[in-house]
Structure 1
Amino acid sequence: MKYLAICLYAGFLSFALPMSSGHAATTDKKESTGEYVDDSVITTKIMNDLLAEPKLKSTEIKVKTHKGVVQLSGFVTSQADINRAVEIAKSVKGVTSVKNDMRLK
Structure 2
Amino acid sequence: MKHLRCTPALLAPLLAFLLGGQLGGCAMSGRAGPVAEVVDDATITAGVRAAIDGDQSLTVSDLGVDTRQGVVQLSGFVGSADSVAAAASVARTVKGVRSVRNDLRLK
Matching residue of 2:78:
76
Question: What 5-or-longer segments of structure 2 have no aligned partner?
Answer: 1-28
Is contact 1:74–1:101 with CA below 8 Å preserved after alignment?
Answer: yes
TM-score between both structures, scaled by the size of structure 2: 0.66
CA RMSD, aligned part only? 1.6
How many residues are matched? Answer: 76
Distance in 2 (alpha carbons) for counterparts of 1:85 and 1:93: 15
Q: Deviations over 1:48-80 (max 9, x none)?
A: 111111121234321100000000011111011
Distance in 1 (alpha carbons) for counterparts of 2:77 and 2:49: 15
Deviation (angstroms), 1:32: 1.3
Question: What 5-or-longer segments of structure 1 have no aligned partner?
Answer: 1-21, 23-30
TM-score between both structures, scaled by the size of structure 1: 0.67
Compare CA radii of gyration and give the structure with the larger one: 2
Seq. identity, %: 42
